[in-house]
Structure 1
Amino acid sequence: MNRFLSSFKSAGFALLLIVLFIKPFSGTAQSVVNIESFSRAVGATLDGEQVQKLYNARLTTGNIEMVCDSAWRFINRSEIRAFGNIQIETPDETIWSDTLYYYTNRDLSLLRGRVIIQQDSTTLFGKRVDYNFFTKVAYFDSGIRLEDQDGTLIAERGTYFQNQDSAIFRGNVQLSDSAQYAEGDSLFINRTSKYLQLYDNVFVVDSTNNGTLTGDYLEADSTGRRFVNGNGYLRRVSADTTDTTHINANQLLLLDQDSTSLIRGYKNVRVWSPKFSSVSDTLFYDSSTEIFELISNPIAWHDNIQLTGPYIAVQMDSSEVRELKSFHKTIAVQEDSATGRLHQIKGDTLIADFTDGSISRIKIYPKSQVLYHTQNEDGDPDGAVEYSSPQTIMYFSNGDLKRVVAGKNDGYFFEEFPGLADRRLDGFAWNPERRPTRPKTEVAPRFPPVPQERPFALPRRFVEYINLNSQDPVGE
């Protein structure tokens, strides 16, 4: 009889336990978890708490469905733990994980191990993710990888706001797609509008425009607008790769409009290219016209010529300078390659034309003034000519002055004397120390390329899901 009674009590307890599992339970009135199926159920005590253990379980709560190898339900608190091959389905996303701590009263899930969240065309990978099913916010505190149809993004930490389709990434941020690569210390991005803000140690390579961009802060959007604030630097290689232009400025604004690129530089702008260099407070460049406009205290250099004036325009023809223009109280200084003396040309308007990259003509009008040092047959300094004229046109060959055409003029010829080399026109400016030079070192990314491989071996249920829903099967 005692043995029969003992068997009866054990069987009754097992039956009661199964009935409890089959009935829905809830941590709060708002979050009811239903047990849809399981292969085996076991009752246990963990640290003094009653726990129900389900194996090969399928659970639902509201519009969330979960399958896993095992699930633990804590009887006296609103917590469920799931282990092994977890897959969670909601109307908005599918989630895979090795381990799950789900707090039903807060809709909060602590996902650990190999965590994957897929939403529309976006797939997120991480090893430690806190996810709220109500707010649709995911916190990745041990690495994040985001993949979509445009490319891949990785960082040390990240927060993904699914409802806003936005994300914040921090620590060694890298973005990579077929057209560009970018990196920085932190990033805010709205993927719907393709608007982003990249902070600190910004480095961008744009293969479409053969450009490299660096700075302290980058702002970009879907219109092709990119704004750099702080230590802005742009390197752009010509389409034929024969010419490289380097632009530094406190601020850079780049606008891409159809096939036209506009560049704006502000504050302490410095330009260097093999054919010309400049400094100014403001720079405008239009790729459709190939004109650099230098405004506010600009100086431009070409070979041994320095041009100074309130406004300077540099007309490029591919990689060669075709024309220099300067307006209002302009002065050009040319250093003689043989004697080192400084030829000086001054006027209200100056236009310099170039042929095959060498200066061919300079026109100065009105109120032109010229100081030109002469040489004797042996190439030694031999006096100078200084005059004023309404207009002066100077013709050059291979950079050497060959002919001068001037209107009615008033001038002097100076015999050679000590100190003649130091003679200056009013407004003279010669600043070789300010001339930009080619950067000695090329900027380069701090980090190795974004790996093609995912951060971990893919979970079995994820592989099955992808192979079922994709034409490109994958392996674990």
Structure 2
Amino acid sequence: AYSNAQIDSDSTIINADTLKNFSFEKKSNASGNVRIKNLSNNVLLTGNYAENFELTNYSNISGNAILIQVENTIDTLFIYSDKMEAFRNEPEYYKATGNVEIIRNDFLSKSGYAYYFRENETVALQDKPVLWQNNSQMTGDSIYAELPGKVLQKIVVNKIPNLTNSLESFLISQSDSINFKERYNQIAGNKIEILFENEKLKNVKVFNNSKSIYFVFDDSGKANGVNRVTGENMNVIFDENEKVIKIIVDKDPVGLYASENNISEITLQLEGFLLREDKPVKK
């Protein structure tokens, strides 16, 4: 055992307060202020205790585990969890377990566990996941996000029917009027596919049991009522300011419009609406 030690290998550098190196097995144990730096991709793992297996390109780190994928001051990815596992063979991926929080610029999430696939830059969240992007919040049984080139392009939110206490897929967006921030546009269904352009909402497709609530404002920002739309499948199209410009329902459409004078006569929240304020912050 070595104190305040460092171990260098072909692929990693390990620093810790205490290190044990088993050279024959190419295995090492580390404890106290552990740092594992991957030399090939700028991924840094930190935590309280770690095991590294050089032959299988596998590491696990626990106790305030943090993954940092350094890109630049804006796009650096942070993943916080109770435990982090690194699988560095192809395809390289990382599994975070327990109280998982992810931060990358305006992309924020919480979940019970998560997978980060480094090569194709995707994130998969499960166990009561919630994801925030700008003024939008997404919840469901599972959430999958694609961020090629460090730019958010697609999010898929799924309901898993056989899952105990399964949740409907939900998208909540704050209204685009500065005078009515308490009004939230809502979309729900079994599956929601969300496409982004310049990391802003561009298109939302909803599959099975689709529902939406959208508040209407005139060009000056004055409130002008609300639209409720339901149907089997739904396609919601946004302009460059993330304002709804068209809703297409391909089967069994039902629409209801309430003017501003009559808005109190209808329910303004879809069943399952839950606004979360507990966004993660950098530690």
Q: Same fold (TM over 0.5)?
A: yes
Work out whether residues 34 and 49 of structure 2, in 8 Å CA contact, stay in contact via their aligned partners in 1.
yes
Matches within 5 A, 1:31-70: none
User: Residue 356 in 1 paired to residue 198 in 2?
Assistant: yes
1:455 alignment counterpart: none
User: Which structure would you say has the larger Rg?
Assistant: 1
Q: Which runs of 5+ in 2 are unaligned?
A: 160-167
In the aligned structure 1, how far is the partner of 2:220 from the partner of 2:34? 56
In the aligned structure 2, how far is the partner of 1:268 from the partner of 1:261? 22
1:200 alignment counterpart: 32
User: Residue 335 in 1 paired to residue 177 in 2?
Assistant: no
User: Residue 245 in 1 paired to residue 77 in 2?
Assistant: yes
Question: For 2:258, which of 401, 414, 417 is the aligned residue?
Answer: 414
Structure having the higher helix fraction is: 1
In the aligned structure 2, how far is the partner of 1:419 from the partner of 1:276? 34
2:47 alignment counterpart: 215
Provide closer, same or farther for how the CA distance between residues 228 and 420 of structure 1 changes in structure 2, counting only shifts above 3 A: farther
2:164 alignment counterpart: none
Code of the aligned partner of 1:225 = Y
In the aligned structure 2, how far is the partner of 1:342 from the partner of 1:185? 50
In the aligned structure 1, how far is the partner of 2:81 from the partner of 2:31? 17
SS in 2 for 1:379: coil
2:238 alignment counterpart: 396
1:304 alignment counterpart: 135
Work out whether residues 121 and 150 of structure 2, in 8 Å CA contact, stay in contact via their aligned partners in 1.
no
2:163 alignment counterpart: none
In the aligned structure 1, how far is the partner of 2:176 from the partner of 2:89? 43
Code of the aligned partner of 2:68 = R
Work out whether residues 344 and 425 of structure 1, in 8 Å CA contact, stay in contact via their aligned partners in 2.
yes
2:147 alignment counterpart: 316
User: Residue 371 in 1 paired to residue 202 in 2?
Assistant: no
Work out whether residues 99 and 111 of structure 2, in 8 Å CA contact, stay in contact via their aligned partners in 1.
yes
CA deviation map 1:371-420 (0-9, x unaligned): 10111232122211112111110111222222111233223212225768
Of structures 1 and 2, the one with the larger relative CO (CA 8 A, separation 6+) is: 2
In the aligned structure 2, how far is the partner of 1:421 from the partner of 1:208? 57
In the aligned structure 2, how far is the partner of 1:206 from the partner of 1:420? 59
Q: CA deviation at 1:206?
A: 3.0
Q: CA deviation at 1:327?
A: 1.2
TM-score, L = length of structure 1: 0.53
Question: For 2:270, which of 401, 418, 425 is the aligned residue?
Answer: 425
Provide closer, same or farther for how the CA distance between residues 242 and 257 of structure 1 changes in structure 2, counting only shifts above 3 A: farther
Work out whether residues 120 and 148 of structure 2, in 8 Å CA contact, stay in contact via their aligned partners in 1.
no
In the aligned structure 2, how far is the partner of 1:320 from the partner of 1:314? 10
CA deviation map 1:398-446 (0-9, x unaligned): 2222211123322321222576898211011211x22223x26xxxxxx
In the aligned structure 1, how far is the partner of 2:197 from the partner of 2:75? 17
Provide closer, same or farther for how the CA distance between residues 202 and 385 of structure 1 changes in structure 2, counting only shifts above 3 A: same
Question: For 2:5, which of 173, 180, 183 is the aligned residue?
Answer: 173
Work out whether residues 331 and 429 of structure 1, in 8 Å CA contact, stay in contact via their aligned partners in 2.
no
Q: CA deviation at 1:296?
A: 1.0
Percent identity between matched residues is 21
Q: Which moved more, 1:287-296 or 1:192-201?
A: 287-296
Provide closer, same or farther for how the CA distance between residues 177 and 242 of structure 1 changes in structure 2, counting only shifts above 3 A: farther
In the aligned structure 2, how far is the partner of 1:188 from the partner of 1:203? 14
Code of the aligned partner of 2:204 = I
Work out whether residues 230 and 251 of structure 1, in 8 Å CA contact, stay in contact via their aligned partners in 2.
yes
User: Residue 291 in 1 paired to residue 122 in 2?
Assistant: yes
Provide closer, same or farther for how the CA distance between residues 419 and 272 of structure 1 changes in structure 2, counting only shifts above 3 A: farther
Provide closer, same or farther for how the CA distance between residues 422 and 226 of structure 1 changes in structure 2, counting only shifts above 3 A: farther
Provide closer, same or farther for how the CA distance between residues 189 and 261 of structure 1 changes in structure 2, counting only shifts above 3 A: same
In the aligned structure 1, how far is the partner of 2:229 from the partner of 2:21? 63
Work out whether residues 242 and 319 of structure 1, in 8 Å CA contact, stay in contact via their aligned partners in 2.
no
CA deviation map 1:3-45 (0-9, x unaligned): xxxxxxxxxxxxxxxxxxxxxxxxxxxxxxxxxxxxxxxxxxx
In the aligned structure 1, how far is the partner of 2:13 from the partner of 2:224? 59
1:325 alignment counterpart: 156
Q: Which runs of 5+ in 1 are unaligned?
A: 1-167, 441-476
Provide closer, same or farther for how the CA distance between residues 242 and 179 of structure 1 changes in structure 2, counting only shifts above 3 A: farther
User: Residue 236 in 1 paired to residue 69 in 2?
Assistant: yes
Code of the aligned partner of 1:390 = E
